[in-house]
């Protein structure tokens, strides 16, 4: 059985607060607004944490209470849905 994640609970509250304010003018500008209007919440959160704030996938997953593959999938959805967000993404190493 999985233990509840306090970090995930906090992240859920932060997400809720962002959604309440996303329509207001924000220092993040239209880029952040586009994330939350154009993507599922997990994808938007993943882009914000990994690409905008520079967290590693493992760090973002821990914060959000998810497994790393969920973050990778969220980033993949973002790449397909909003290709312009791919700028600045970390390139994967070839095996």
CATH code, 13: 1.10.10
> Per the structure, how many domains does the chain have?
1
Task: Specify if 44 maps to a domain.
Answer: yes
Burial of 95 (0-12, 13-18, 19+ CB in 10 A): exposed
The pLDDT of residue 54 is above 60: yes
Average pLDDT in the chain: 77
pLDDT, position 21:
62
**Residue 54: inside a domain, yes or no?**
yes
Q: 35 is in which domain, residue-wise? A: 6-22+29-86
Confidence of residue 91 (pLDDT cuts 50, 70, 90): very low
Most confident of 3-7, 28-32, 49-53: 49-53
Q: Are 85 and 47 in contact (CB under 8 A)?
A: yes
Q: Is the pTM of this model over 0.85?
A: no
Report if residue 92 sits inside a domain: no
In a domain, 35, yes or no: yes
The predicted structure's pLDDT at residue 46: 92
């Amino acid at each position: 059985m999985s233990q509840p994640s306090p970090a995930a609970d906090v992240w859920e509250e932060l997400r809720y607060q962002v959604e309440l304010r996303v329509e207001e003018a924000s220092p993040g500008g239209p880029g952040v607004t586009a994330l939350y209007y154009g993507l599922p919440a997990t994808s938007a959160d993943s882009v914000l944490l990994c690409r905008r704030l520079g967290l590693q996938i493992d760090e973002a997953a821990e914060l959000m209470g998810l497994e790393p593959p969920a973050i990778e999938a969220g980033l993949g959805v973002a790449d397909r849905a909003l290709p312009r967000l791919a700028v600045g993404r970390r390139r994967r190493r070839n095996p």
